[in-house]
Every structure is written in C-alpha cells, then in structure tokens.
Amino acid sequence: MFTIFPGMVDGFASLSLLGKARERGLLDVRVHDLRSVATDPHRSVDDTPYGGGAGMVLMPEPIFAAVEAAAPPRPLLLLGPGGRTLTQAVARDLAVLDGFSLLCGRYEGVDERVRTHLVDGELSIGDYVLAGGEVAAMVVLEAVGRLVPGVMGNDASAGDESFSDGLLEYPQYTKPADFRGLTVPEILRSGDHGRIARWRRAQALRRTLARRADLVASRGGLSDEEQRLLEEFPAPG
C-alpha cells in the first residue's frame, strides 16, 4: 500500500483480525510512504493543478519513484471514486490473488499520468468523496483480509453471511433465550438442523426482498424452491 500517511494504515492493520493474521503469517501488509522518496528538502508530493482550480494534486514523480523502488505485487489499484465499486464479489476476486497493491490519493487527487501509465486499475468504495484513499484502503484490506483462508477463526462463517450467495444474512440470536420478554424463535432451539437451515434461508430471502429487492432481481428472482421455502415459513403477523 502506498500513502502519504503510513501511520494511519499501519496502526489499523496491526490490531484485531488483521493484526493477528499478520502475526500468524497469514497476511503480509506492507505500507510504503510516498514521501520517503521525495527528493526536495520539504519532501513535497503535491503541487497546484495545471489549468488552475482549487486544491493540490499529487505529483507523478514521487509516486512513480515509490512504486518502482518497491516493485509491489500487481495489480496495483488506485483508490478513487471513479473506480470499479468494491463489492463482496470484487473482494473475493482480490482474496484469491497472490497479492495486490493499493495506492491512496489525497487532496484533489493524483496526476492523470499515474492513472494512465502506472496503475492497473481503479477501485472505489462507494459513490461519495473521501479526503484521501487511506480509509478506502482500510475498507478493502478488511473486506479482503477476512476472506483469506485461516484469517477468520471459523472459516464457515464467511460462507454464510450477507452477500455470499447474493442475499442478506438471516437474523442471528445468542443468549439469553428470553431478553426482557423478547424471545428467540422457538425453531432455533429445536435442534432440528434441517428445519433450522430452511428457516434461515427463508428469513434471508424475506429480509433481502424487503430491504434489497435489487439483489434478488439481479440473481434472477426467486426459484420455485425458494417460493416453497417462503410458503413453509410465512411472515409473522
């Protein structure tokens, strides 16, 4: 990862899930400071835009020099609002690679020649504008990192959750069974694992239909079997 704020990303990647995965050698995260290769006394990395306008633009020289010195794993992806949007499917594609690299912009962005002649693609985390690519890089790192085999304590949990099969996740409950009169659905305590699995699938379908009908539409609507599941477990009330 290339950034002018290495401390931001390094701190984040040293804690919790990612930190443990790095300690165990499951993930190798390297953070390169774009300023370290700047040659002038002020270590400047940005300058005013040609043609005028507000703000500063990251210069090509320090970025090319930092990338060439590090020879990082490719693809090298520039973080930016104009990129391909990060989805669970994109995260899965990145997780199976041997490695990849991220370049964080700042200020008004990066010189266009970085985009056209240095990076291999561009990645966005959504349709809004951040002040820099660092938070976006952390989002990518966490979404991808937890898909790397062994990083999550229980590998099955990544297969069951939201988006893994184009649906949102079913509702989850833990103890106590009765919390202030709010009870856990009886079926989850029944021990009938086949029925529990069908109930969960029906809940995931119902929830996705209610909140993200677009996700159901994009996987081609409901199959006959899914229709039957919804009939087997009608909506309460």
Residue 132 binds ligand SAH (CB under 6 A): yes
Helix (H, G, I), strand (E, B) or coil at 52: coil
Instruction: Compute the chain's Rg from CA coordinates.
Output: 23
Stretch that binds ligand SAH, among 41-49, 111-119, 129-137, 206-214 (CB under 6 A): 129-137
- Residue 124 or 208 with smaller CB distance to ligand SAH: 124
Tell me if 124 contacts ligand SAH by CB under 6 A. yes
Q: Does 60 bind ligand SAH (CB under 6 A)?
A: no
Distance CA 145, CA 141 (A): 6
| For ligand SAH, the closer CB: 23 or 112 | 112
**Using the rule CB under 6 A, is 133 a contact of ligand SAH?**
yes
140 binds ligand SAH (CB under 6 A): no
Determine, following the binding rule CB under 6 A, whether residue 109 of this chain makes contact with ligand SAH. yes
Residue 128 interacting with ligand SAH (CB under 6 A) = yes
d(CA 151, CA 90): 18
Q: How far is the CB of 21 from ligand SAH (least distance, A)?
A: 23
- Binding residues among 67-106 for ligand SAH as defined by CB under 6 A: 79-82, 104-106
Tell me which residue of 80, 70, 178 sits closest to 121, measured CA to CA: 80
Which range, of 128-136, 153-161, 166-174, 226-234, touches ligand SAH by CB under 6 A? 128-136
If the CB atoms of residues 132 and 166 are measured against ligand SAH, the closer one turns out to be 132
- By CB under 6 A, the count of residues binding ligand SAH is 19
Is residue 23 within 8 Å of residue 50, measured between CB atoms?
Answer: no
In this structure, which amino acid lies at residue 19?
G
Residue type for 69, please?
Answer: A
Which of 136, 128, 114, 141 is CA-nearest to residue 81?
A: 128
Position 125 contacts ligand SAH (CB under 6 A):
yes
- Sign, CA torsion 193/196/202/204: negative
Q: Please name every residue paired with 124 in a beta bridge, in sequence order, or none if there are none.
A: 85
DSSP 129: -
Q: Are 52 and 170 in contact (CB under 8 A)?
A: no
Segment 154-183, which members bind ligand SAH (CB under 6 A)? none
Which lies closer to ligand SAH via its Cβ, residue 81 or residue 185? 81
Give strand pairing partners of 57: 47
Residues engaged in binding ligand SAH (CB under 6 A): 79-82, 104-106, 108-110, 124-126, 128-130, 132-133, 136
